[in-house]
Amino acid sequence: MPGFWDNSEEAGKLMKEISGLESDIKLFSELEEKKDDIKTLLELSEEEEDPSLEKEIKQNIKELQDRVEKVSFRLKLSGEHDKNDAILSLTAGAGGTEACDWVEMLTRMYRMWASGNSCDTSVIELLPGDEAGIKKITLMIKGPYAYGYLKGETGVHRLVRVSPFDSSGRRHTSFAACDVIPSIGEEIEIDINENDLRVDTYRASGHGGQHVNKTDSAVRITHLPTGVVVQCQESPSQHSNRKKAMQMLKARLYEFEKDKQRSATQRRYDEKGEIGWGSQIRSYVFMPYQMVKDHRTEHKTSNVDGVMNGEIDEFIQSYLQQQA
């Protein structure tokens, strides 16, 4: 189409929409193929009277049911920005080095969830812990309905375990805050006065080695009227980081205004004070027993290893169904 790429931003938005529709078509085609495979197996089983096919048929039916349930749930995600990519931030709270290690564990958990849900992740901001782990990290999670699925993860996450950093083998409790906002790109018009911004550049931090930038390419932007701060060190290019930081600022200011419209009981965790006792939405207990429990829905599981490997769909769905 002549002139299609003359406006790269509009063309990019259209291509993203087309990609989403293609993904949906592919998903429904796969479900149709799975149904046809089961039908073929059933016919083969009846013709040959082969009981050994029964196990395979049941397994295929179970897989189809699970996928249909997942698709049905996705169709219920009808919020204003549910289809958008997500910006997920994790911040260490009470617990010192333990809390920083907890943030690193949660980072892995969300990355594994993203990988299992056709989402890509990239690090926008990283502040390592003083001794180990991560003090704060911001991830861009790109994929179908990333924000819709993850929006309920906002809140304080509590860990109870025997600390690997305690030579006495004592049990410790640590806290980390999760914040999820939609990546709104250019779809929402937000007027930002350049005079209201303070822009600082600094050298990107990391865990050392060749991945640490040697120039002041990282960008921090402070919106003076609201005090909202965003940072980006994703790229070695300062220009690219500033552009991404401005996108994040728009998203946070949009969410800031939305929060002001919500009732006090619905506001985000960071308006409730300390990241610590009494404010957790979910507890992950490794010792003296194994249990992950969401305090909002009462949903729980003893499969701690599965949860830490990204198997959090049950928690996501139970919360979103409660809200619906």
Instruction: Write out pLDDT tens, residues 145-172.
Output: 999 999 999 999 999 999 888 778 788 9
Q: What would the pLDDT profile of 221-264 be if each residue is shown by its tens digit?
A: 999 999 999 999 988 999 999 999 998 998 889 888 877 765 44
10 Å Cβ neighbour count for 99?
25
Q: Number of helices (H) and strands (E), helices first, in the chain?
A: 7, 11
Structure-model confidence comparison of residues 216 and 303, the more confident one: 303
Q: Which option is the CATH number for 86-187+273-323: 1.10.12.10, 3.30.70.1660, 3.40.140.10, 3.40.1160.10? A: 3.30.70.1660
User: In the β-sheet with 291-294, what is the strand arrangement from edge to edge?
Assistant: 120-128, 134-142, 86-92, 171-182, 155-162, 280-285, 291-294, 300-301
Average pLDDT, the chain: 84
Q: Which of 72-76, 197-201, 306-310 comes out lowest in average pLDDT? A: 72-76
Query: Is pLDDT above 80 for 201?
Result: yes
Which pLDDT tens digit goes with each residue over 31-64? Answer: 888 888 888 888 888 777 777 778 888 888 888 8
Q: For residues 243 and 237, what is the distance between their CA atoms, to the nearest angstrom?
A: 10
Q: What is the pLDDT of residue 249?
A: 92
* CATH of 194-261 among 3.10.180.10, 3.30.160.20, 3.40.50.1360, 1.10.150.530: 3.30.160.20
- Check: CB of residue 165 under 8 Å from CB of residue 132: yes
Amino acid at 123: V
324 HSE (CA, 13 A, CB side): 15
The whole-angstrom separation of Cα 308 and Cα 109 is 5
The alpha carbons of the chain give a radius of gyration, in whole angstroms, of: 23
- CA 285 distance to own-chain centroid: 21
Dist. CA 221–CA 249, nearest whole Å: 8
Which residue type occupies 291? M
Task: List pLDDT tens digits, range 97-112.
Answer: 999 999 999 999 999 9
